Amino acid sequence: MEEESCNGRDDMVIDGHELVQQQVNTILKGFNPDHLKVYYGNLFPHAHIFKWMSYGNDGRHPGCDPSYFGRRELSFTLENDIYLRFQSFNSATELEHAIREKCPFKIDIGPMYRCMTFKKTICLLGGDNVFTPMERELIFDIDMSDYDDVRYCCSGADVCLDGWLLMTVAIKVMDRALRDNFGFDHILWVYSGRRGVHCWAD
């Protein structure tokens, strides 16, 4: 469909879907690392992440394990794909300070270990397998590229609104199966930040 524009030329009318896709592409191409500093400094929920990942072991009541969050491995991916593993923090303040200082492009949440991850070398020298993963949440990773065989819109790491229909169906099927067949009550679906979603089931 074409319409007469105010400049006297015939311009193509962009429907809503194409406009949204153009905006998404512009955002992805216009990534600015300086925006991460603003995000981590003003918007990132450091205290909420710490509270969530502590599962009540935040030192506020008797019987909690104050070392719980400190035994959790976090990894940071920095600019130029520099990968920092075995990051651990004893408080929300430590977590916030490290994130604001390092400004990671990606943060991965790893397993819980028997001892604190910053004591990894000492634990390994002890020789009694103290530094072993003890627990981990059940997490499913669904990527858009998993559907390349049936996607007609794009492929690989490319993401478009049509492809998200497939992701929506996958989410609904998995959510129902986890609740009805396996009895999970607490399920969190999160955009993975690239080309899919992560499901945290507890």
The active-site residue out of 65, 94, 137, 143 is 143
Q: Determine the Cα–Cα distance for residues 86 and 72; give it in Å rounded to an integer.
A: 8
Helix (H) or strand (E) segment spanning residue 42: helix 33-42
Length, in residues, of the chain: 202
The active-site residue out of 18, 135, 141, 162 is 141
Known catalytic residue at 180: no
Distance (Å, rounded) from C-alpha 200 to C-alpha 202? 7
User: 28: alpha, beta or left, given left = phi > 0 and alpha = psi -120 to 50?
Assistant: alpha
Q: Residue 8 carries which DSSP code?
A: S
Judge whether 143 counts as a catalytic residue.
yes
Catalytic annotation present for 73: yes
Q: Hey, which residues are catalytic here?
A: 73, 141, 143
